[in-house]
Amino acid sequence: MTALTHLDQTGAAHMVDVGGKPVTARQAIATGRITMSAHAADAIRHGTALKGDVLAVARIAGIMAAKRTSDLIPLCHPLPLTRVRVDLAPDAEGVTVTATAATEGKTGVEMEALTAASVALLTIYDMAKAIDKAMVITGVRLLEKRGGKSGEWRAAKV
């Protein structure tokens, strides 16, 4: 089993020292889904939600969130992101979000991709809650990561 790198020998939390690690190209892709009533899904797909273009605002929120991950997750390193992409796929039952984050750095961008997906989903909830307060956010998870010492990793098909 791998040791928890954010704990020192005494069990105290600390920020991992990445100073000696090489700079490599890194990318991570995360996903999540929000399900909702047909009425809410229809309003989002057709751009008729009272708060405006839900998908456009969620995309920008996800991108902004990725850029602020180290402000939100206490032990994350601030990263110079080279790319953040948030794709939203609406359908009759909800929206699937896929977020991609990339950097040239000494540590991975998994948290940035996960944060982007999560905040995009929360933004959809916020903008459509007047239509459906019972929306459910599910399946937020890492799909794949590339770069660094551990190389490539892909989630098992669900």
Block mean pLDDT (10 aa), the chain, length 158: 62 66 91 98 95 96 97 92 98 98 92 98 97 98 92 88
The pLDDT value recorded for residue 1 is 43
Residue 134 exposed, middle or buried by CB count within 10 Å (0-12, 13-18, 19+): exposed
Q: What is the pTM of this model?
A: 0.90
| Residues pairing with 87 in the sheet | 98
The pLDDT value recorded for residue 2 is 56
The pLDDT value recorded for residue 47 is 93
The pLDDT value recorded for residue 100 is 98
Strand segments, DSSP code E, in the chain are 24-35, 81-91, 94-105, 136-146, 153-154
Please say whether the beta carbons of 33 and 94 come within 8 A: yes
Active site residues: 126
